[in-house]
């Protein structure tokens, strides 16, 4: 009865399983994953013509840690009273504590059923089979999936058109100034970007825009967002509202049931949020394991994510908030990194995004991340001036 059952063998579930062992959990850990491949990293899937299968941990590592990894197994139901999960083939399995780490799936709007989407390694292989020199590829959605795939496809010689319904690309994740730099780079690489253009109908090989224009492509890919996988939780009677509702310890609304990663909605600095990100899945996997072992510290990791397109790296720390003014820190000393940030009305840093060559962006955004973590008031005017060294703000905070 002390078994810990984890549903979902992605970044979060795997991280939680290994952390439980690291923290000395001696009971049985059963990790169910619907896919058959050894759990792998998803970030490489959109970034290369030949997507690498990069295991999160080797098969043997699961064996050494005595994690009972059950691949190709779908959990069909959870009974929170009996504390059991039922598998697709009918067998049931009892748990002492349960972690739901079912992640998210690609969203599709009605009529989009015939286009390709990207979530799994298999999806990436299918997409990349169509990414050939001179192939015409239509991508619906100018978010991270759409743009990373556009960069990969154009580098492979394809003729790429991105269709974004919003007034600009990356509307959800980054401020306009950064999105504009990304847009310009794609245009310079030969990608056709259509913004402010909804789609009326989408076929496997064509798109009709809401203004009536028709486009034919060899293949259409949709990257129009992700939806949390919450059906199991809903059927089990757990609170679900744009994600499985959890508290700061990732405890769901039934005893001994936890949820973490892309599928959950958790409080961050008092506001409920749902994050779709590799880093959050890792951080939450670690935190939920600690919580399952009895540690009750609040989750305070600053949201962080990155995207690579061409030789550009984009990194974001914190969550941009439309209520606050976005400031630019301009180009760094080398003139090659551009950073924007927001402070709240008290001068506390809320979020920062940087774009430029990988190393420089990573160093700067790391410092911004630490400043967000400190949650202390700063002088936004000084922060906007690139001649002020970021480290001095950290020392003062």
Q: Name the percent of the chain in helix, strand, coil, to the closest 5.
A: 25, 30, 45
Nearer to ligand NAD, 112 or 390 (CB): 112
Closest CA to 260 of 108, 97, 101: 101
* Minimum CB–partner distance for residue 316 and ligand NAD (Å): 9
Structure token pair of residue 12: 């979060």
* Minimum CB–partner distance for residue 47 and ligand NAD (Å): 8
What does the alpha-carbon distance between residue 218 and residue 139 come to, in Å, rounded to a whole number?
11
**Three-state DSSP class for 77?**
strand
Residue from the set 145, 289, 339, 361 that interacts with ligand NAD by CB under 6 A? 145
| Residues 2-61 within binding reach of ligand NAD (CB under 6 A) | 46
What does the alpha-carbon distance between residue 185 and residue 171 come to, in Å, rounded to a whole number?
17
* Minimum CB–partner distance for residue 10 and ligand NAD (Å): 12
Residue from the set 144, 250, 304, 341 that interacts with ligand NAD by CB under 6 A? 144
**Per CB under 6 A, does 172 bind ligand NAD?**
yes
Residue from the set 73, 140, 150, 361 that interacts with ligand NAD by CB under 6 A? 140
**Per CB under 6 A, does 261 bind ligand NAD?**
no
The answer to whether the CB of 314 falls within 8 A of the CB of 355 is yes
* β-bridge partners, 160: 137
Q: What are phi and psi of 350, to 5 degrees?
A: -105, -45
**Per CB under 6 A, does 224 bind ligand NAD?**
yes
Q: How far is CA 11 from the centre of its chain?
A: 10
Q: Kind of pairing, strands 226-228 and 104-106?
A: antiparallel
Structure token pair of residue 363: 């160093």
Residue from the set 54, 109, 201, 389 that interacts with ligand NAD by CB under 6 A? 109
**Per CB under 6 A, does 305 bind ligand NAD?**
yes
Nearer to ligand NAD, 109 or 396 (CB): 109
Nearer to ligand NAD, 142 or 386 (CB): 142
Q: Which residues bind ligand NAD (CB under 6 A)?
A: 46, 104, 109, 140-146, 148, 163-166, 171-173, 198-199, 223-226, 276-277, 305-307
């Amino acid at each position: 009865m002390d078994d810990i059952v984890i549903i979902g063998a992605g970044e979060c579930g795997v991280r939680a399983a290994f952390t439980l062992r690291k923290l000395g959990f001696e009971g049985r850990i059963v990790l169910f994953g619907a896919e058959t491949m050894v759990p792998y990293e998803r970030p490489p899937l959109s970034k290369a013509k030949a997507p690498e299968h990069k295991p999160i941990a080797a098969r043997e590592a699961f064996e050494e840690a005595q994690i009972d990894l059950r691949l190709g197994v779908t959990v069909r139901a959870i009974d929170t009273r009996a504390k059991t999960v039922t598998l697709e083939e009918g067998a049931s399995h009892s748990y002492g504590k349960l972690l739901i780490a079912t992640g998210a799936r690609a969203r599709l709007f009605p009529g989009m059923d015939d286009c390709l989407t990207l979530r799994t390694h298999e999806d990436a292989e299918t997409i990349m089979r169509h990414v050939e020199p001179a192939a015409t590829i239509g991508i619906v959605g100018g978010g991270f999936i759409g743009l990373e795939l556009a960069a990969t496809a154009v580098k492979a010689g394809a003729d790429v058109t991105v269709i974004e319904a919003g007034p600009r690309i990356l509307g959800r994740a980054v401020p306009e100034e950064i999105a504009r730099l990304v847009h310009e780079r794609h245009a310079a690489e030969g990608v056709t970007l259509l913004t402010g253009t909804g789609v009326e109908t989408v076929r496997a090989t064509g798109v009709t825009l809401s203004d009536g224009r028709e486009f034919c492509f060899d293949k259409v890919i949709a990257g129009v967002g992700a939806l949390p996988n919450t059906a199991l939780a809903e059927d089990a009677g757990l609170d679900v509202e744009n994600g499985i509702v959890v508290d700061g310890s990732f405890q769901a609304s039934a005893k001994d049931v936890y949820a973490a990663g892309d599928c959950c909605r958790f409080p961050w600095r008092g506001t409920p949020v749902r994050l779709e990100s590799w880093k959050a899945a890792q951080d939450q996997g670690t935190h939920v394991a600690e919580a399952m072992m009895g540690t009750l510290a609040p989750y305070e990791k600053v949201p962080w994510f990155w995207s690579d397109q061409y030789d550009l790296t984009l990194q974001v720390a914190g969550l941009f908030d439309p209520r606050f003014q976005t400031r630019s820190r301009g180009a760094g000393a080398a003139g090659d990194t551009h950073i924007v940030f927001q402070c709240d009305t008290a001068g506390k840093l809320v979020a920062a995004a940087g774009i430029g060559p990988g190393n420089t962006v990573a160093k700067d955004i790391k410092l911004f991340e630490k400043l967000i973590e400190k949650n202390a008031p700063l002088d936004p005017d000084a922060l906007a001036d690139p001649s002020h060294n970021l480290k001095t703000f950290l020392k003062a905070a």
